[in-house]
């Protein structure tokens, strides 16, 4: 787990909500507080889709960030800053598998529940927190450390 404070909030928010810098992620959940509190559950509701639509979806558990970000943008945009928000993004399966291989961690993809990035804004401060969730217990932190460094590198490249 690694926490990085973002100093250039305006540039970061543009890359999060308008540009494609975070489009490899899925949305687990979002809570945005402006004049109301808006909560988005990123879990896909399969009953909404036809079997053909479901079959063509690359990911069937969580919505892709690129699909949900316009809604988040519409809630956040305006002359006033939001009171707070928390957006929990999950790395997609393909990138997770690549990171697992690159890290050399002694784990299988079935051991990895998810690689997460939590973006939290409150009191004019924006923090990004990376986290690794496994289905199995291990003392080995290879994947966690590799993911933390990958996210830090990604965030530094944005500034």
The answer, yes or no, to whether residue 78 has pLDDT greater than 90, is: no
Per-residue confidence band for 154, with pLDDT thresholds at 50, 70 and 90: confident
pLDDT at position 159 is 64
The answer, yes or no, to whether residue 1 has pLDDT greater than 90, is: no
By residue count, the chain amounts to 159
- 63: helix, coil or strand? strand
Q: Calculate the average pLDDT of the chain.
A: 92
Alpha-carbon gap, residue 107 to 109, rounded angstroms:
7
Per-residue confidence band for 85, with pLDDT thresholds at 50, 70 and 90: very high
Q: Where are the alpha helices (DSSP H) in 113-141?
A: none
Predicted TM-score (pTM) of this structure: 0.92
pLDDT at position 73 is 96
pLDDT digits (tens, 9 = 90+) for 6-16: 999 999 999 99
pLDDT digits (tens, 9 = 90+) for 129-150: 999 999 999 899 999 999 999 9
Question: Which is higher by pLDDT, 159 or 21?
Answer: 21
Mean pLDDT over 88-113 rounds to 94
pLDDT digits (tens, 9 = 90+) for 108-120: 999 999 999 999 9
Mean pLDDT over 53-76 rounds to 90
Query: Can you name the residues that pair with 130 across neighbouring β-strands?
Result: 2, 117
Of the candidates 20, 14, 16, which has an alpha carbon nearest to the alpha carbon of residue 118? 16
Residue % of the chain over a pLDDT of 90 = 79
């Amino acid at each position: 787990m690694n926490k990085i404070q973002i100093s250039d909030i305006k540039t970061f928010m543009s890359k999060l909500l308008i540009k494609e810098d975070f489009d490899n992620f899925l949305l687990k959940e979002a809570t945005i507080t402006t004049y109301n509190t808006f909560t988005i559950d990123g879990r896909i509701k399969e009953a909404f889709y036809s079997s053909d639509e479901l079959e063509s979806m690359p990911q069937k558990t969580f919505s892709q960030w690129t699909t949900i970000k316009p809604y988040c943008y519409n809630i956040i945009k305006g002359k006033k800053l939001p009171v707070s928000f928390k957006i929990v993004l999950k790395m997609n399966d393909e990138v997770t598998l690549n990171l697992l291989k690159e890290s050399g961690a002694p784990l299988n993809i079935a051991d990895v529940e998810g690689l997460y990035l939590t973006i939290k804004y409150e009191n004019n401060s924006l923090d990004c927190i990376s986290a690794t969730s496994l289905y199995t217990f291990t003392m080995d932190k290879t994947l966690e450390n590799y993911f933390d460094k990958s996210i830090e590198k990604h965030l530094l490249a944005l500034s």
